[in-house]
Amino acid sequence: MASEMLPDEEYEVQDLLLNVGPQHPSTHGVFRMVMTVDGELVKDVVPYIGYLHRGAEKLCETMDYRQGIGFMDRTEYLAGHNAELSYVMAVEKLAGLEVPERAQWIRMILCELNRLSSHFMFMGAFGIDVGVFGTPFIYAWREREAIIDLFEEISGDRMMYAYFRPGGLAWDVPTNFVQRVKEVLVSSKTGIKDFDGLLTDNEIFRARTQGIGYISAEDAIDYGMSGPSLRGSGVPMDVRKDEPYLYYDQIKFEVPVGKNGDVFDRYICRLEEMRQSVSIIEQCLEHLQPGPIMPERMPRMLRTPPGEVYVRTEAPRGEYGVYLVSKGGNRPYRLKVRSACLSNLQPLKQMSVGQYVADAIIVLGSIDIVLSEVDR
């Protein structure tokens, strides 16, 4: 109708620059996108990052190995245990420390619980992006609260745990640990079931997510994506399977992969991964035996020989790697954090160009970014 009244030849048609962020609920942190839109269609996306840069890598170079742990939590605030694990494992590899069995199992349990809590957070925030306002977010908060309460009982803090140490754990878990984990798992299972019922088969949800934000497996690999965002495109890459660390080689679990590489497949991968995490934790609990949690002889101040290591682990958002160079002494010479979110953010333009503005927000939500990890 409008085009009949206003023929394009007589009026100059201009693209509109649309600024989203840096402080906007749908950008999941301080992230800014400048979109060029033609009506409702996105023609170009320019992301701006760096608002949350705190120089954690450089800070760690001025500190000894124990002091750096607290900063690792802050690089990835939704999955602090996973971030600590990479760092601590890198230091252990460099220093040649043997970690006791019990400490390893506890680490595994905590990391998988952290994956659960992080994915719950994704489910809630993603629900809001899609337009189911409130309901999934509150459901996610309910389940995440149970897990975080457990972390508080173990480590003392709800988000910045500082619980892993080079060599093992800071202190042992409470005596009712196994029972408490089982309680939390019961509530998590209910939560996963709730999300499955609420979102997966919902026609509106499917219409909003299926066929949106497509990226092919080849492109995803080229961009260096990892984690559930990559597996949604059908690449069965999981560091836990490919290069087992801790005791993941003694545990039976599957790596869920998607087929279509769209937003819905990334969602369904995460949902399935949560079920796998529950099963991993249940198996770990069976292996948990009393015993020491630190090597018998630990120096008061940990010093490492010169060398360099790269350790990667599977964090909830993908491959979280720590590259550590030491020239001897008690502090790293260089520390580099390979953040999964930064790589996952790269194909944002490719995934959102040609979509509607509202869908570009869903695409951003589907890669589950944590801006503190992108900027570090």
Compare residues 156 and 329 and give the one whose CB is closer to other proteins.
Answer: 156
- The answer to whether the CB of 367 falls within 8 A of the CB of 345 is yes
The residue among 126 and 139 lying less far from other proteins, judged by its C-beta, is 139
Angle between the N-to-C axes of helices 101-130 and 135-155, in degrees from 0 to 180, rounded to the nearest 10: 160
Q: How far is the CB of 146 from other proteins (least distance, A)?
A: 8
3-state SS class at 80: helix
**What is the closest distance, in whole angstroms, from the C-beta atom of residue 246 to other proteins in the complex?**
18
Using the minimum distance from each CB to other proteins, give the nearer residue, 9 or 201.
Answer: 201
At its nearest, how many Å lie between other proteins and the CB of residue 200? 8
Q: How near is the Cβ of 154 to other proteins at its closest, in Å?
A: 7
Q: Taking the CB of residue 139, how many other CB atoms lie within 10 A of it?
A: 20
- In terms of C-beta density within 10 A (0-12 exposed, 13-18 middle, 19 or more buried), how is residue 260 classed? middle
**Residue 190 CB, nearest distance to other proteins (Å)?**
9
CB closer to other proteins out of 62 and 250: 62
141 versus 310: smaller Cβ distance to other proteins: 141
In the complex, what is the shortest distance from the CB of residue 153 to other proteins, in angstroms, rounded to a whole number?
4
Distance CA 311, CA 167 (A): 15
Binding site for other proteins (CB under 8 A): 63, 66-71, 74, 102, 135, 139, 142, 145, 152-157, 160, 162, 165, 167-175, 194, 197-206, 290-294, 298
Q: Which residue has the tokens 């693209």?
A: 15
* Tokens encoding 232: 């949604």
Of 187 and 260, CB closest to other proteins: 187
Shortest approach of other proteins to residue 333 CB, angstroms? 18
* Sequence-ordered strand ranges (E) for the chain: 16-20, 23-24, 29-30, 32-38, 41-48, 164-165, 168-169, 307-315, 318-326, 334-338
Q: Which is nearer to other proteins, 3 or 289 (CB)?
A: 289
Cβ contact 159:117 at 8 Å = no
C-alpha 54/C-alpha 56 separation (Å) is 6
Q: Which residue, 80 or 318, has its beta carbon nearer to other proteins?
A: 80
State the minimum distance, in angstroms, from the CB of residue 156 to other proteins: 4
> Does residue 15 contact residue 41 with C-beta atoms inside 8 Å?
no
**Exposure string over 188-200, b if 16+ CB within 10 A, otherwise e:** beebbebbbebbe
Cβ–Cβ < 8 Å for 333, 326: yes
